[in-house]
Amino acid sequence: MASVRSDSVVSGVLLKIGEVRLARGVSQEKLAELSGIDLGVISRAERLQRIPSMAAIMDLASALELDFAELVRGARKSNEP
């Protein structure tokens, strides 16, 4: 079972992906096309209703040309006490 902290890191990564997508004017439909990830998965992930697989999260980050390791580091830092 994942810890609360790791869950919050994953949530932080998903939220950042959504923020970047919006800032760049990329629709969820376009991100689905670029990443090969189902539109419904992207929609639920951005609302934190479903946590996709790590491979899917990495594909989303890659489609937006984001460094996955940097996303994780940023999410971990924002969750530090």
Helical segments of 3-81, H only: 4-23, 28-35, 39-46, 54-63, 68-78
Alpha carbon distance 46, 60 (integer Å): 11
Question: What pLDDT is attached to residue 7?
Answer: 85
Label residue 81 by pLDDT band (50, 70, 90).
low
Q: How many Cβ atoms from other residues are within 10 Å of residue 63's Cβ?
A: 20
pTM summary value: 0.86
Question: What pLDDT is attached to residue 79?
Answer: 72
Average pLDDT over residues 4-8: 66
Is the per-residue pLDDT at 73 higher than 70?
Answer: yes
Contact 66, 3 (CB under 8 A): no
Question: What pLDDT is attached to residue 51?
Answer: 93
